[in-house]
Structure 1
Amino acid sequence: MLRRERVEELLGGGVRVEHVSDLGSSHAWTLHRAALSDGREIFVKAAFDQPGVFAAEAAGLRWLAEGRGTSGPPPPVPEVLADDERMLVLPWLPSVAPGAEAAERFGRELAAMHTSAPAPGAYGAPWDGFIADLPLDNTVVEGQWPRWYAERRLEPFLRRARRSLTSADVGLVERVIEEIDVLAGPPEPPSRIHGDLWSGNVLWTDGRCMLIDPAAHAGHRETDLAMLELFGAPHLDRVLAAYDEAAPLADGWRERVPLHQLHPLLVHVALFGEGYRARTVEAARAALAIAH
């Protein structure tokens, strides 16, 4: 049950929680919608024992929101109203049906977020990361993206997932890691990316899309686009066309989609087991096909 008094303490200003609707649970936390005495509605995540997760999410949302520079639209992320080790408070955002116009706006705003100033100077993030409730190694590295991706994303999650993979499957992913410099395409500067941008983390709201539940870090912008394709997203063709028009992508980016999907697929194998094995193997083979 949500501790109303703690929400009130975090928000401050004498505001009271007048009504709470419980929305179920996700991973190790519960979800809630609450009405406040000042007329606002809020969304609250709460957990009894999940240290670091909400701090990482709050840090990521605030950091993504900074990537605007002196012009352009505000980044499509909600404001963090309050947070502590056991709670995260965001504005309540009503959802609407996906629309083509909002999809095109989303593509442009995602491109602006990825290419905004001030640009990150290195890959990673200055906070401990999480994807779902699994830790992410966000060690900041000033080298090139391929080795960072191999060492901070693929290798750790291959270790987590290998109990659900065959030795041949593991060998395929290890070949991707070995050949990563060839497979990764032309160099890209670090971008502010969401990091877990599957369609369930895109909230279609009033006239635009908002990005929730990030695993934010300075990474490769193709990673977010590959995640949008992983489980399908409404009006994806319009999103991608608007993105590419606003911030043209490097040649061959579509062929590199499986490489960028390999990490989230390994995450799913680690979380849910053999049900995601076949897609992981398929992605590894498709990634290797670039070099052969």
Structure 2
Amino acid sequence: MRPVGGGDDGDDGTGERRRDPVTGTMAERLTALLGREVRQAARAGRSHDWDIAYAELADGTRLFVKALPREAEPSGVFTAEARGLEWLGEAPDSPVLTPLAWDERIVVLPWVHECEPTPQAAERLGRRLARTHLAGAGSFGAPWPGFIGPLPLDNTPARDWPRFYAEQRLRPYLRRALDNGGLTPTDARIVERVVDGVEDLAGAPEPPARVHGDLWSGNVLWGSRDAVLVDPAAHGGHREADLAMLALFGLPYLDRVRDAYNEVAPLSAGWRSRVALHQMHPLLVHVCLFGAAYRTTALEAARAALRGG
């Protein structure tokens, strides 16, 4: 972390030190929010539509901060993130990183000193993820409006997973991908076959699991002993979805994670044939966010889902 004492941000060209309006205000805001003195904050760039910063308490404790720019109107994204982290954290031995403080414009998390992943940490992650899933949910969806990255996520509670997945996880992002040109109408017909056939592709019914919902490898932070999870799109969902997303972009020691998971909560028969089905949602989200760069991968997953693996 680059120290920026008291929000100071260099010379303004007149020989006077000018105050950084982002980090200076943020240090003051964090002090009020935490009830503890924050002596410095340092900007570290942007992620989607919000500012990323590191901060340090007077006692040297480090913090990670996400905040809306001052000109941005609150969308509910930080409320969804914080409520999701707290809800996931209610599960026994949950691996999520619980927020220290939050409001509609800011989320404050403990700093994680990242280390190299180890097989032992991967196995512990698998067991802890299984116990989190087994904590369950009252329904598919969640009692708060959801987001995945900056995009809204329909969390209207539902009892039937196949229709929930089709209508609240696939179809909205298919429409958005068509609107932004990431998919063509011909492409959409392939995805629509998945949407229309979810009941036949879904496998045996499962109760709602307490899922992270956006569990790609970048949301797994490997600490000095254990891996912790951040940035969820938490909801009651299908537990295979978290594992499928870990496989989508690659996670170190994924086989160790999955084997340890199976020790605690064995996956249902045929789970491998459904990996592509569960990957359809995050891939459509990527097409919405990044355009046609993810078109080929999304269509390959759709065809694999229709084949059953």
TM-score w.r.t. length of structure 1: 0.94
Query: Could you give the per-residue CA deviations for residues 166-205 of structure 1, whole angstroms, max 9, x where no partner exists?
Result: 2221001111111110001110100100000000000001
User: Which residue in the other structure is 1:194 paired with?
Assistant: 212
C-alpha separation in 2, matches of 1:140 and 1:218? 8
Report 1 or 2 for greater relative contact order, CA contacts < 8 Å, sequence distance ≥ 6: 1
Query: Which amino acid in the other structure matches residue 140 of structure 1?
Result: P
Paired residues for 1:55-66 under 5 Å: 55-66=79-90
Which of 213, 228, 232 does residue 214 from structure 1 map onto? 232
1:206 CA drift (Å): 2.1
Query: Could you give the per-residue CA deviations for residues 82-110 of structure 1, whole angstroms, max 9, x where no partner exists?
Result: 11121101111111111111001101110
User: Which residue in the other structure is 1:5 paired with?
Assistant: 28
What is the SS of the residue equivalent to 1:124? coil
User: Which residue in the other structure is 2:183 paired with?
Assistant: 165
1:51 CA drift (Å): 2.1
**RMSD value over aligned CA atoms?**
1.1
User: Which residue in the other structure is 2:101 paired with?
Assistant: 82
**Which stretches in structure 1 are left out of the alignment for 5+ residues?**
69-73
User: Which residue in the other structure is 1:95 paired with?
Assistant: 114
1:4 CA drift (Å): 1.1
The reply to whether residue 33 of structure 1 matches residue 57 of structure 2 is no
Query: Could you give the per-residue CA deviations for residues 35-71 of structure 1, whole angstroms, max 9, x where no partner exists?
Result: 1013321111011224201000000000001122xxx
Query: Could you give the per-residue CA deviations for residues 124-147 of structure 1, whole angstroms, max 9, x where no partner exists?
Result: 001111111000000011x22110
User: Which residue in the other structure is 2:14 paired with?
Assistant: none
Query: Which amino acid in the other structure matches residue 146 of structure 2?
Result: G
C-alpha separation in 2, matches of 1:79 and 1:285? 38
User: Which residue in the other structure is 2:267 paired with?
Assistant: 249
The reply to whether residue 130 of structure 1 matches residue 153 of structure 2 is no
Query: Which amino acid in the other structure matches residue 177 of structure 1?
Result: V
C-alpha separation in 1, matches of 2:255 and 2:42? 36
The reply to whether residue 175 of structure 1 matches residue 193 of structure 2 is yes
Query: Could you give the per-residue CA deviations for residues 11-43 of structure 1, whole angstroms, max 9, x where no partner exists?
Result: 01xx21112232211101111111101332111
Paired residues for 1:230-241 under 5 Å: 230-241=248-259
C-alpha separation in 1, matches of 2:79 and 2:99? 11
User: Which residue in the other structure is 1:111 paired with?
Assistant: 130
1:79 CA drift (Å): 2.0
Query: Which amino acid in the other structure matches residue 58 of structure 2?
Result: S
User: Which residue in the other structure is 2:77 paired with?
Assistant: 53
- Does the CA contact (< 8 Å) of 2:27 and 2:55 recur in 1? no
User: Which residue in the other structure is 1:71 paired with?
Assistant: none
The reply to whether residue 67 of structure 1 matches residue 83 of structure 2 is no
Query: Which amino acid in the other structure matches residue 101 of structure 2?
Result: A
What is the SS of the residue equivalent to 2:272? coil
User: Which residue in the other structure is 1:150 paired with?
Assistant: 166
C-alpha separation in 1, matches of 2:55 and 2:185? 49
C-alpha separation in 2, matches of 1:51 and 1:165? 27
What is the SS of the residue equivalent to 1:255? helix
**85-94 or 57-66, larger mean C-alpha shift:** 85-94
Larger Rg: 2
Between the two proteins, what is the percent identity of the paired residues? 57
- Does the CA contact (< 8 Å) of 2:27 and 2:40 recur in 1? no
User: Which residue in the other structure is 2:6 paired with?
Assistant: none
C-alpha separation in 2, matches of 1:121 and 1:132? 24
Query: Which amino acid in the other structure matches residue 94 of structure 1?
Result: H
**Which stretches in structure 2 are left out of the alignment for 5+ residues?**
1-21
TM-score w.r.t. length of structure 2: 0.89
C-alpha separation in 1, matches of 2:257 and 2:291? 31
Which of 38, 45, 61 does residue 24 from structure 1 map onto? 45
Query: Could you give the per-residue CA deviations for residues 234-256 of structure 1, whole angstroms, max 9, x where no partner exists?
Result: 11111111111211000110110
- The number of aligned residues is 281
